Each structure stands twice: as C-alpha cells, then as structure tokens.
A = this chain, B = another copy of it.
Amino acid sequence: MKLDRILIYGMGLMGGSLSLAIREKYPKAEISAVVRSKKSKTTILSKKLATHVFTLEENPKIEWDHFDLVVFSTPVASVLKLIPSLPKSGKTIYIDLGSTKQSIVDLVNIHFGDNEHNYISTHPMCGSEQTGPEAAVPSLYVDKLCILTKPKLASQTSFDFVKQFWETIGSWTIQMDAKVHDETLAYVSHLPHVISTILVNVAGKNHTTMDQVNSIPKPITGGGFRDMSRIAGSNAEMWVSIFKENKSFLIDSIDQFITQLTEFRNLFLEDVGLDESKMISIWESALKKKETIQKNK
C-alpha cells in the first residue's frame, strides 16, 4: 500500500510529533496539515512539521480522497464532528488518535453502515503535560503502546496497514475492543488525571501549606508531590472531551476511589486504636499490584 500523501488534521504535540516521526520513517511521504489558528500555522511552517499547512478558513472543504492516510489528531469531540463528512468509499485510510473509543466506533459503524471501510481507531499512549506543535519531538511514540480498535466492518487490509504503520513509527501495538479500551483507560489514565488535579487543588486550598510555599523562593515539595502533580490541570479542553465521552466508566472509577479512600480514612476512627495490620495490607496490596501492572516483576 502506498503512503505518498498524508493529511494530519489538527497539529498539536501529538500530530506534530507524528509528523516528525513520519519524516524519519517515510521520508518520501508528503505531509499536509489542517490547523485552527494562524499562530499554529506559523509554528508548524517554521518547525517544518508539514509541507502544506492550511487553516479551515483558508480551505473549508477538504478533499479526503487526495490522501493515502488521514490522521485525526484532535479531541474526540472534534473527531465525532468530522466522521459524518467522510466519503463512504475510496482507498483513503482514516485513523484517529482519540483517547476514548466507544463513541468513535459507534459513529463509524453508523456512518459507514453496511459498507466495508478503512477507518481504524487508534490510541497512542504517549501524552505529555506539554502541548502544542512547538513541543513536538520525533521520539514521542517510540516504545510506547498504541492501542488499535477495529470497527466491525473495517477491512482487514486497512487494519494490517495501520498496525504496520504504528510499528514502523516505533510503537508496539495491541488490539482492544472499544468498550474494554474505555473501561481500562478510565482506570489507568483518566482517573489518574482527575486525582492529580484534585490533589493540587486540595494542597492549594490549605492556607498553612500555601503560607509556607509563599515564604520561600524554592519549592517545599519533594519528588512524591512533583510526580503526583505532573499531569494535573494540563490540557483542560482535551480532558473535558475525554470525560464526556467516558463519563460512565469514569464515574465508576471515581466511586471506587472514594469508597477505598473512605475505607482507609475510617481505619483512623476506631477508639480502640488503629488497625495497623489492615493498613499494612492495603500498602502491600498496592505494592504487589503496582509490580503486576507495570510489569516490574
């Protein structure tokens, strides 16, 4: 399958980094980019992230068929607005980098109906607290997981092509059903972002803490807080979109978190004294599960 002309729709950190990676791995491919703002256009051209860049104002009607591969690198809400405009036949392969899958796959199934098509939903797990094309780096996807979700009637050829594409870029891939993806991601990605953000707001609301913070020019926090707050508050628009799309699983995960945190808190309530063995078992369980989840052991 040829890969001469690629369109990256939306070029922030993810799209820009993908562009740099494509340049390395597919040097003959011509990359075009669609962006919202003139500021992005200027950055992209000066960083040479794409050969052709146009804003939607300049080019409101995109000729999708012109490209071998179209990459939607925008929040899920925007992807959902674009899917209905795609042609129902043709050789162009479409992928998105969306952080949730169910709503995209549902809409793809509706849009293409009974037609075989070439839309594969993908999720490269390599976010960063940085944003914008100015932060783009060619190695963003290297040795990262890219989850592939195949809608019911997507062609096997397009699936194999997309899998090969991400592996050439340097990612490793697994296939997940849309629902399994969204539930899993609620726990390993969406909930952690909520927790990190709330943690910073809780610390930021405590007057004693903030008095100390403001009393000296250096940070009073150690590595624990630094790591726990790294992803806090970044990329609000993207996260609102993710939370809306994954509302049900996110609520489940938050409720689980509140339940377990409340159980922990209530270990301190006993007048008979703290149940240390229970507390230690919570700690040991976390250590063991962390090793399992992160494949450290």
Contact = CB atoms under 8 A, between A and B. Distances in A.
Interface of A: 125-128, 144-145, 147, 172, 174, 176, 180, 183-184, 187-189, 191-206, 208-234, 236-237, 239-240, 243-244, 247, 250-251, 253-258, 260-262, 264-265, 268, 274, 276, 279-280, 282-290, 292-295
A212 B264 contact: no
A199 B198 CA distance: 13
Contact of A280 (B194, B228, B240): B240
B227 A264 contact: no
Given A212-B180, A285-B233, A187 B203 contact: yes
Contact of A213 (B204, B231, B233, B292): B292
Which of A195, A218, A232, A279 has the most chain B CB atoms inside 10 A of its CB? A195
B223 A128 contact: yes
A215 to B, nearest CB: 8
A217 to B, nearest CB: 7
A75 to B, nearest CB: 12
Given A199-B192, A227-B228, A229-B290, A295 B219 contact: yes
Nearest to A123: B222
A293 B205 contact: no
Contacts of A250: 268
A11 to B, nearest CB: 21
Contacts of A217: 295
B227 A231 contact: yes
